[in-house]
Amino acid sequence: MQENTKEKSKGVKRLAMTALYTVLGLVAVFQIYPLVWLFFFSLKGNREIFGRSPFALPEDWLFENYARVWTDGNINQYFFNSVFITATSVILTVILASFVTFAITRMKWKMSGFVLLLFMVGYMIPIHSTLVPLFQFYKTLNLIDNPLSIILAYTAYNLPLTIMILMGFYRTMPREIEEAAIMDGCSVHRIFLQIALPMSMPVLSTTVIINMIYNWNEFVFVNTFISSDKYKTLTVGIQNFIGQYLTDWGAIGATLMISIIPILIAFFFLSNRIVEGMAAGSVKG
């Protein structure tokens, strides 16, 4: 009887696992299919896009769409601008957020609660409500049509969320580690740079990918503050393929595919760290 019961329980577990993997497989297909469809879409011309089923494979595989948008469409310049602005903003955001979070959670000073409140208030301010004041402010500083205006805007708006994520980890970090470091003669700066910062790397990876996705896909700030082609990013530069009488949809698909690749690569290399970072703030010690 016990053997039959064990076999039945094993059979139920196998059935449950099979059903689970089947559901997860279907979810993965639905998640991946839009990327596959966009890739095929980017290899078509306007005649084939509108003349055949949108789900059909390309008749003529127009890989020249990618070469054309990279050179003639100035996508190489837009791509470099996106990489430079995104990387600079992410680095600034992560460094400044780490400074602020360490100071608020691991040090005792009178205004720490008020400073945290200011950052959390900044998290609640809608982006669109600040476009006009920011435009006037940047115009006074001669920062309109300057990449620095975008970098400053991205850094400022990503700081509250980044601080909020990092606080979950810093508040659970054992103080015994810092006390032992102080006994060994470590200064506050060394405790932050050599202990706190390396320990927070999994959480920092989570904030890096979140900030990178936002900065890479952001449109409003770039469209408002940047007018020269030499400073535009991919999200704004794609408008070059939209004309008054004719839109090159294959070129748009190729540009979108190029813009997706860096995010996929970053997520592929940081995915394990992201999972660790999500769990780091929830498990004490």
Tell me the per-residue pLDDT of 257-277, one tens digit each, with 9 for 90 and over.
888 888 888 877 776 666 555
CA–CA separation, 52 vs 230, rounded Å? 37
Does the pLDDT at position 35 exceed 50?
yes
Under the banding of pLDDT at 50, 70 and 90, the label for residue 49 is: confident
Secondary structure string (H, E, C) spanning 29-52: HHHHHHHHHHHHHCCCCHHHHHHC
DSSP 282: T
According to CATH, the topology of domain 74-280 is MetI-like fold (1.10.3720)
Position with higher pLDDT, 22 vs 281: 22
**240-263: per-residue pLDDT in tens?**
776 645 677 888 888 888 888 888
Does the pLDDT at position 118 exceed 70?
yes
Does the pLDDT at position 284 exceed 70?
no
Indicate the range of 103-112, 117-126, 197-206, 240-249 predicted with least confidence: 240-249
Under the banding of pLDDT at 50, 70 and 90, the label for residue 236 is: confident
- What's the mean pLDDT when you consider all of the chain? 84
pLDDT, residue 143, reads 92
What pTM does this model have? 0.81
Does the pLDDT at position 285 exceed 50?
no
CA dist 205 → 91, 128, 150, 209 (Å): 11, 28, 22, 6
- 3-state SS, residue 111: coil
pLDDT, residue 271, reads 67
CA–CA separation, 46 vs 72, rounded Å? 18
DSSP 89: H
Cβ contacts of residue 196 below 8 Å, gap of 6+? Answer: 98, 102, 106, 170, 173, 178
CA dist 49 → 53, 67, 225, 240, 247 (Å): 7, 19, 34, 19, 12
**158-207: per-residue pLDDT in tens?**
999 999 989 888 888 888 887 788 887 888 888 888 888 888 888 888 88
Q: Domain-by-domain residue ranges, the chain?
A: 2-41, 74-280
User: What residue has token string 């959670």?
Assistant: 105
Cβ contacts of residue 195 below 8 Å, gap of 6+? Answer: 177, 178, 181, 186
Under the banding of pLDDT at 50, 70 and 90, the label for residue 14 is: confident
Indicate the range of 61-65, 138-142, 160-164 predicted with least confidence: 61-65
